[in-house]
């Protein structure tokens, strides 16, 4: 008699998506494609964006979500709303996945982390570049000592055209300019590569439209130096609208006592990267595109949530990133 095989279907997560601009829809489609979740609520102030999911309830406000019926909320709204909306969800029993930055200041970030811990809810932030294959390989090589002791990191993230939404240029809504938008990725990556050492010193020079930064406008060009407690120096530059001859110029180079690793974007892409290793005048390619970019962070969060994970102490690392941003802005 043949043995009958039974399959058990895992119940999908029930999620609400708040903010359905390009990044919100991209993450929603990535998660829907993973098969881990069912989209139950769509929330956006623009009715044109809340389409394409037949069985989802459309809302204009988070207040209209039946929070007891969902497992988590994905937030992809303007930066000023992130902390408030995350607190709203966490304090009502929902796990949260939020676009970066989690908060505009370290103080806001601390409140969100406290709410996640107090309510034992899973909190994730969309630091998507951590999940690139090139970045994953580089971190493994760095931690295994393949290029020796790393004493300097050069990191750049230049967006050749800059954001097309007005709220990015309103400091009250964005919390800052290119550092808050782009530099946050570089800072997080370097901290994450080295298991989040302490920050010992920060120096920064910010510009707005070619002149020194003042509080009336957000910065569109930044040069920063961060000294870490592990002995590594980070030299960082980021910008909006700088003439770089392509859509984006993104590089992160790690200089060690036994060689160098360099992650670079390809042909101006925000998503395709190579990883190269340098020995004096010789180089070798370790990784080339294509590489999935948008799905990594949110699928990782969904997998953890589906497995029943609550508060993850590792998310307290987000506060170190927020502290670094505050110091860059002189707060």
Tens of pLDDT along 277-312?
A: 999 899 999 999 987 777 899 999 999 999 999 999
Residue 71 has pLDDT above 90, yes or no: yes
Mean pLDDT in residue range 144-171 = 95
| Residue found under tokens 């102030």 | 45
The whole-number pLDDT of residue 127 equals 96
pLDDT tens readout for residues 170-208 = 988 899 999 999 999 999 999 999 999 999 999 999 999
Mean pLDDT of the chain: 92
Query: CB of 196 within 8 A of CB of 127?
Result: no
| Residue found under tokens 């992130």 | 82
Domain boundary assignment for the chain: 13-127+296-313, 133-292
Per the rule left: phi > 0, alpha: psi between -120 and 50, beta: everything else, 267 is: left
Write the DSSP string, 55-83. TPEEESSGGGS-GGG-SEEEE-S-HHHHH
Q: Do domains 13-127+296-313 and 133-292 have the same CATH topology?
A: no
Q: Give CA–CA dist 327/182, Å, rounded.
A: 16
Q: How many CB atoms lie within 10 A of CB 78?
A: 17
Q: Are strands 233-240 and 150-159 parallel, antiparallel or unpaired?
A: parallel
Q: Give CA–CA dist 289/273, Å, rounded.
A: 6
Q: Are strands 199-208 and 150-159 parallel, antiparallel or unpaired?
A: unpaired
pTM: 0.92
pLDDT tens readout for residues 4-55 = 444 444 689 999 999 988 889 899 988 888 889 999 999 987 766 766 676 8
CATH class of 133-292: alpha beta
Q: Are strands 13-18 and 37-43 parallel, antiparallel or unpaired?
A: parallel
13-127+296-313 topology per CATH: Rossmann fold (3.40.50)
Residues of the chain with pLDDT > 90: what percent? 79
Tokens of 100: 């970066």
SS3 category, 252: strand
């Amino acid at each position: 008699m043949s043995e009958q095989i039974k399959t058990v279907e895992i119940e999908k997560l029930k999620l609400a998506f708040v903010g359905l601009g390009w990044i919100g829809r991209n993450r929603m489609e990535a998660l829907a494609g993973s098969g881990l979740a069912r989209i139950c609520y769509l929330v956006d102030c623009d009715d044109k964006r809340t389409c394409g999911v037949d069985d989802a309830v459309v809302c204009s406000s988070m207040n209209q979500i039946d929070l007891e019926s969902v497992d988590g909320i994905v937030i992809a709204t303007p930066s000023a709303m992130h902390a408030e909306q995350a607190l709203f969800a966490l304090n009502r029993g929902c796990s949260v996945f939020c676009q970066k930055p989690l908060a505009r200041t370290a103080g806001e970030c601390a409140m969100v982390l406290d709410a996640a811990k107090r309510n034992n809810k899973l909190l994730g932030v969309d630091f998507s570049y951590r999940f690139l294959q090139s970045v994953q390989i580089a971190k493994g090589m760095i931690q295994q000592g393949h290029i020796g002791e790393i004493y300097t990191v050069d990191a750049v993230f230049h967006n050749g055209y800059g954001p097309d939404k007005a709220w990015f240029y309103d400091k009250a809504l964005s919390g800052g300019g290119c550092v808050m938008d782009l530099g946050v990725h570089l800072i997080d990556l370097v901290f994450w590569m080295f298991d989040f050492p302490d920050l010992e010193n920060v120096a920064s020079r910010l510009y707005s439209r070619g002149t020194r930064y003042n509080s009336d406008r957000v910065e569109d060009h930044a040069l920063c130096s961060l000294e870490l407690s592990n002995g590594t120096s980070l030299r960082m530059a980021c910008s909006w609208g700088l003439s770089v001859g392509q859509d984006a110029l993104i590089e992160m180079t790690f200089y060690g006592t036994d060689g160098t690793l360099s992650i670079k974007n390809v042909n101006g892409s925000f998503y395709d990267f190579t990883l190269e290793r340098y020995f004096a005048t010789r180089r070798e390619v370790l990784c080339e595109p294509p590489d999935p970019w948008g799905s990594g962070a949110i699928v990782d969060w969904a997998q953890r949530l589906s497995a029943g994970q609550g508060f993850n102490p590792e998310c307290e690392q987000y506060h170190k990133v927020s502290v670094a941003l505050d110091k860059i802005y002189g707060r």
